[in-house]
Homo-oligomer: A and B are copies of this chain.
Amino acid sequence: MIKHNCKECKLKAAATCHLTNDEFLDLENNSVSVQFKKGESIIKQHALSLNVAYLRSGMAKVHMQGPTRDKILRVVNAPTFLGLPTSFGEKINQFSVTAINDAEVCFIDLGIFRNLIFSNGKFAYELIVELCRNELNDYLRYASLAQKQIPGLVAETLLCFADKIYHKDQFHMPLTRTEMGDLIGTSRESVSRVLSEMSQDKIIAIDAGMFSILNKEVLSNISDKG
């Protein structure tokens, strides 16, 4: 077991702000920190769910096998809990989580975690708030997914990476074209075509995986009007 200090995560996760020293000790003694390389599976669909996972650093995709292909449900950024829904909703994992960058994940014993919820109302409350925020975010994305066409969805995705994840207009895209397709619900070819067109129109520039947003106004426009 890698030596780790749960209190370190205090600043990063709202929920853990409310834990006492004893509760932190309890957490530390019942959790393990594990390193993952890009592409490695953190949580596997159909496997038994025995732990709550907490992404300490790195990025991951939450995805499941859909009717015809893989469906990426969301891309998440540390720090965040992973797989709460699967841990509390079902015994068997209903989705997978895979690292899309090198990542560090803490696995916490489910029983211990449950006890924290029982005994520490503020911790439980913050968890509920996080779950609710996630759900709202999902709702907005799914409304877009259902109604925008592909250029709008690609634009929305690029803006999300720039604004929500990397906080700058130039970033390395960690997803392949196929994965971008799985995220927005289309084929890799369609994603390619839209990106090509946006490059030709000087709205974005792509250089070996490095994406630059050149004309944010137009990109936002494409995203908004769908």
Cβ-defined partner of A67 (8 Å) among B127, B129, B224: B224
Question: What residues of chain B lie closer than 8 Å to A95, measured between beta carbons?
Answer: 139
**In the assembly, what is the distance between CA of A89 and CA of B134, in Å?**
8
Interface of A is mostly: helix
Closest Cβ–Cβ distance, residue A166 to chain B (whole Å): 23
Q: Is A135 an interface residue (CB 8 A)?
A: yes
Closest Cβ–Cβ distance, residue A189 to chain B (whole Å): 16
Q: Is A73 an interface residue (CB 8 A)?
A: yes
Closest Cβ–Cβ distance, residue A44 to chain B (whole Å): 15
Size band of the interface chain A makes with B: 35 or more
**Residue of B whose beta carbon sits closest to that of A114:** B125
A66 near B143 (CB under 8 angstroms)?
yes
A146 near B145 (CB under 8 angstroms)?
yes
Q: Is A77 an interface residue (CB 8 A)?
A: no
Q: Is A86 an interface residue (CB 8 A)?
A: yes
Cβ-defined partner of A143 (8 Å) among B67, B88, B136, B225: B67
Give residues of chain A (69-118) contacting chain B, Cβ–Cβ below 8 Å: 69, 71, 73, 84-90, 94-95, 114, 117-118
6 more A-B contacts (CB under 8 A) besides A69-B147, A85-B131, A94-B139? A86-B136, A89-B135, A117-B124, A131-B135, A138-B138, A145-B145
On A, residues with C-beta under 8 Å from B are: 64, 66-69, 71, 73, 84-90, 94-95, 114, 117-122, 124-125, 127-129, 131-136, 138-140, 142-148, 152, 185, 224-226
